[in-house]
Amino acid sequence: MKMDVLLGLQWGDEGKGKVVDVLAPQYDVVARFQGGPNAGHTLEFDGIKHVLHQIPSGIFRENITNIIGNGVVLDPVILKKEIEGLHKFNIAFKKNLFISKKATIIIPTHKLLDAAYEKSKGDKKIGSTLKGIGPTYQDKIGRVALRVGDILSPDFKEKYQGLVDKHKTILSFYDFDLSQLAELEATFFDAVEFFKTLNLVDSEYEVNTYLKEGQRVLAEGAQGSLLDIDFGSYPFVTSSTTMAPGACTGLGVAPSRIGEVYGIFKAYCTRVGSGPFPTELFDEDGEAMRKEGNEFGSTTGRPRRCGWIDLPALKYSIMINGVTQLFMMKADVLNIFEQIKVCTHYELPDGTMVDRLTYELDSVEVKPVYQTVPGWNQSLADISSYDGFPKELKDYVTMLEEALEVPIKLVSVGPDRKQTILR
């Protein structure tokens, strides 16, 4: 059996949580492979809205195994809160949540370091979620991090202290106030005790055994391809491999085992945090998108920057991920527009037209070149099939498919599970 991968093609918040929840009944296993509590994946069903940060989005479906893979950085404090927040749903965590012993642990000083690094960058800050993601991945690659399996070892406290001492040296260089540390540590160790009661496993064996037995596995990406550590708008990126190969290294699955790659994108664009965003709107259209799409961060509550769809960026993400199917989200947010703009190229300062995201592009001001198409300008609320779509929306889908050369197999027309149109 192959493992399918679902990932965001833009700057995150494309609607991955919603779609994983919608697709989950077609799978036996849902697995997160990278990122950590910087993610905020929203699910809506039966009048309930819920945001998941570290727990995979298959958790609300019965009989689905959810795995947090080795590529994830995990905050025990946030995980405890997340699990407690789900108590009212009577989820059998013992039965359906498994965590890799090789996942990396976020400790309190990682969050302090994140804050210190951001502060030192001044107006060049990344706009990090301040969840400690960058410093934790730094320690992982630097071969000094703590892993989930370490919490079971009798010398965990010494290992922890060794790492904290290193962090304190760095924090003193930044003249960082450590007065809150003792309180953060008390909460951390309390959460670690809770963590020990969860299923901590060598999840690479589990995933590969499931695949061998013919079970269907869906890998759930976090963030988006344009925030990828290698191919995103560096340095305004996150610190993990958000692309499809991240599902191999983050779960221990061979590249030959990858099946479908579902690429998910909004019918427009958003970005939260700093960094280039060629189609960003600073006018009333941008404001209207933010309002209509409720574009405020699921993790930090920050207003998301909004703009028109960007085809060069989407083509790039499709290329580096080998996307086999596209899912278009939040089509309903564009209901309000009589005309819709589609960025087909960028104009460089010297007048040259390009449609590639080259290395140089990150450091120059580019002007988006738009094609304007008619909007459908009507509600999609009562539509339950693709045939029922207004002509202008069908034309929009066809135009994007032709430009992107990958079929759009799903169109989302609202945040609820049911507001999903399959083709």
The residues assigned a catalytic role are: 13, 41
Taking the complex as a whole, the smallest distance from the CB of residue 128 to ligand IMO amounts, in Å, to 4
By CB under 6 A, is residue 238 in contact with ligand IMO?
Answer: yes
Nearer to ligand GDP by C-beta: 16 or 315? 16
By CB under 6 A, is residue 250 in contact with ligand IMO?
Answer: no
Handedness of CA 318, 260, 70, 224 (dihedral sign): positive
> What is the spatial distance between Cα 115 and Cα 184, in angstroms, rounded to a whole number?
14
C-alpha distances in Å from residue 265, one per residue of 15, 50, 150: 8, 21, 38
Shortest-Cβ-distance residue relative to ligand IMO: 273
What phi and psi, each to the nearest 5 degrees, are found at residue 98? Answer: -130, 140
> Which residues are CB-contacts of 114 (< 8 A; sequence separation ≥ 6)?
128, 130, 131, 132, 133, 134, 135
Nearer to Mg ion by C-beta: 80 or 266? 266
Taking the complex as a whole, the smallest distance from the CB of residue 57 to Mg ion amounts, in Å, to 11
Interface positions, 80-139, toward ligand IMO (CB under 6 A): 126-129, 131, 133-134
Taking the complex as a whole, the smallest distance from the CB of residue 306 to Mg ion amounts, in Å, to 15
By CB under 6 A, is residue 412 in contact with ligand GDP?
Answer: yes
User: For residue 202, which of 105, 94, 98, 65 has the smallest C-alpha distance?
Assistant: 98
Interface positions, 214-233, toward ligand IMO (CB under 6 A): 222-224, 227
Q: 146 near 164, Cβ under 8 Å?
A: no
- Binding residue (CB under 6 A) for ligand GDP from 30, 237, 329, 366: 329
Interface positions, 34-63, toward Mg ion (CB under 5 A): 40
The residue range among 79-87, 119-127, 290-298, 407-415 that interacts with Mg ion, by the rule CB under 5 A, is 290-298
Taking the complex as a whole, the smallest distance from the CB of residue 5 to ligand IMO amounts, in Å, to 14
Interface positions, 269-288, toward ligand IMO (CB under 6 A): 272-273
65 exposure class (CB count in 10 Å sphere: 0-12, 13-18, 19+): buried
The residue range among 15-23, 87-95, 108-116, 253-261 that interacts with ligand GDP, by the rule CB under 6 A, is 15-23
By CB under 6 A, is residue 300 in contact with ligand GDP?
Answer: no
Taking the complex as a whole, the smallest distance from the CB of residue 366 to ligand IMO amounts, in Å, to 19
Taking the complex as a whole, the smallest distance from the CB of residue 141 to ligand IMO amounts, in Å, to 14
Report the length, in residues, of the chain.
423
238 binds, among ligand IMO, Mg ion, ligand GDP, none (CB under 5 to 8 A by kind): ligand IMO
> Which residues are CB-contacts of 105 (< 8 A; sequence separation ≥ 6)?
73, 74, 75, 76, 136, 145, 146, 147, 148, 150, 151
> What is the spatial distance between Cα 362 and Cα 380, in angstroms, rounded to a whole number?
37
Interface positions, 236-295, toward ligand GDP (CB under 6 A): 293-294
Interface positions, 5-64, toward ligand IMO (CB under 6 A): 8, 11-13, 35, 38-41
Q: Which residue has the tokens 């993400």?
A: 317
- Binding residue (CB under 6 A) for ligand GDP from 245, 259, 390, 414: 414
Q: 234 near 65, Cβ under 8 Å?
A: no
Nearer to Mg ion by C-beta: 39 or 318? 39
Taking the complex as a whole, the smallest distance from the CB of residue 223 to Mg ion amounts, in Å, to 8
Interface residues with ligand IMO (CB under 6 A) are: 8, 11-13, 35, 38-41, 126-129, 131, 133-134, 222-224, 227, 238, 272-273, 298
